[in-house]
C-alpha cells in the first residue's frame, strides 16, 4: 500500500508563520492572508517574501476538491517598499532607491484593490453608472463632447476588465461599495493619493531617460508624504473591509508600516 500523499505546502521566508487554513472570509483581509485565489492563477516565482499555503476546499461531500492558495501579494511589495524607504531615511537618499520604494508601495495598492474588485462590484458599479447617466442626460440630447466627458469620469467596465488604480479609488469603489476616500480628512488623503498616482503614472510605470531629471528632483519630504498616504489608504481599506478590524490584522499593519494602526 502506498503512503498517502502529503498536502502541497510551500513557505517562502518572510518572517511570517505559515498558516494551514481553508477559505475563511473573515481572514481574507488580514495583511498576511489577504486574498484567496485559485492555485492555477499563482506562481511562487512571482511572490517576494510571501507566505503560501495550499489547502483543499469542498462545497459539499460530493464536490470536487479545489486547491486554493492564500498568498500575501500586497505585503511582499509593501515590505520591499518600506525597506527601501528606511534605507533612504538612514543615509543620503538615492533617486533610484526612492523611485523603487514608491513603485513597490504603489504596486501593493494595485494588488490590494484589484484583488477585491469582484464581479458583483462590477455589476453594481455599472448599475450606478447607468443611473448617473440617466440623471445627467435626462430629457436632453447628448452631444459627443458631453458623452466623452462622462465616459472619462465614469468609464465602462465588464467582467474581464479591472480599472487603473486611480479610477478604482476615485469612482469604482465609490459606486460599487460606497467607500469614498474623499470622505477621509476632508479629501486630503485622496488629494495626496492623486499626487502619488501622478508620480507612478508619469515616472515609474514607463521609465525613460527623459524622465530622469524629474525623478532625481523628488525630495525626501515627498517620499515621506507618499509613504504616509499609502499607510492611510491601507488603514482606511481595512476599516471598510472589516468594520471592526481584528487585532491580528492591526498587528501585521504595524509590522509592515512601522506605525500604530
Angle at 78 (CA atoms; ends 75, 84), nearest 5 degrees: 140
Q: What is the largest CA-CA distance in the chain?
A: 77
Query: What is the three-state SS of 43-101?
Result: CHHHCCCCEEEEEEECCCCCCCCEEEEEECHHHHHHHHHHHHHHHHHHCCCCHHHHHHH
pLDDT of residue 236: 95
Cα dist. 153→132, 166, 168, 171 in Å?
11, 11, 11, 8
pLDDT of residue 39: 39
Q: What is the pLDDT along the chain (261 residues), one digit of tens a residue?
A: 555 444 333 222 233 333 333 333 333 444 544 444 443 333 333 333 333 333 333 344 433 333 444 456 688 899 999 999 999 999 888 888 888 999 999 999 999 998 888 889 999 999 999 999 888 888 777 788 888 888 889 998 877 778 899 999 999 999 999 999 999 999 999 999 999 999 898 887 666 655 566 666 778 889 999 999 999 999 999 999 888 888 888 888 999 999 999
pTM of the predicted structure, to 2 decimals:
0.74
Question: Alpha-carbon distance 166 to 193, whole Å?
Answer: 8
Closest CA to 116 of 60, 73, 147: 73
pLDDT of residue 178: 95
Amino acid at each position: 500500500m502506498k503512503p498517502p500523499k502529503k498536502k502541497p505546502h510551500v513557505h517562502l521566508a518572510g518572517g511570517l508563520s505559515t498558516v494551514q487554513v481553508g477559505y475563511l472570509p473573515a481572514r481574507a483581509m488580514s495583511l498576511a492572508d489577504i486574498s484567496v485565489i485559485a492555485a492555477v492563477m499563482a506562481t511562487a516565482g512571482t511572490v517576494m517574501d510571501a507566505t503560501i499555503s495550499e489547502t483543499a476546499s469542498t462545497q459539499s461531500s460530493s464536490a470536487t476538491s479545489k486547491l486554493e492558495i492564500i498568498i500575501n501579494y500586497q505585503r511582499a511589495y509593501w515590505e520591499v517598499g518600506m525597506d527601501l524607504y528606511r534605507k533612504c531615511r538612514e543615509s543620503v537618499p538615492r533617486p533610484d532607491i526612492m523611485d523603487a520604494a514608491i513603485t513597490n508601495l504603489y504596486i501593493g495598492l494595485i494588488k490590494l484593490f484589484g484583488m477585491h474588485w469582484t464581479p458583483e462590484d462590477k455589476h453594481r458599479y455599472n448599475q450606478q453608472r447607468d443611473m448617473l447617466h440617466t440623471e445627467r442626460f435626462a430629457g436632453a440630447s447628448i452631444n459627443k463632447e458631453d458623452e466623452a466627458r462622462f465616459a472619462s469620469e465614469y468609464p465602462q467596465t465588464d467582467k474581464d476588465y479591472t480599472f487603473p488604480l486611480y479610477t478604482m479609488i476615485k469612482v469604482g469603489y465609490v459606486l460599487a461599495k460606497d467607500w469614498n476616500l474623499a470622505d477621509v480628512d476632508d479629501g486630503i488623503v485622496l488629494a495626496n493619493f492623486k499626487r502619488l498616482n501622478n508620480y507612478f503614472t508619469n515616472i515609474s510605470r514607463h521609465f525613460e531617460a527623459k524622465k530622469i531629471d524629474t525623478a532625481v528632483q523628488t525630495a525626501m519630504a515627498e517620499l515621506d508624504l507618499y509613504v504616509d498616504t499609502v499607510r492611510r489608504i491601507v488603514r482606511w481599506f481595512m476599516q471598510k473591509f472589516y468594520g471592526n478590524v481584528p487585532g491580528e490584522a492591526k498587528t501585521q499593519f504595524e509590522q509592515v508600516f512601522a506605525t500604530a494602526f
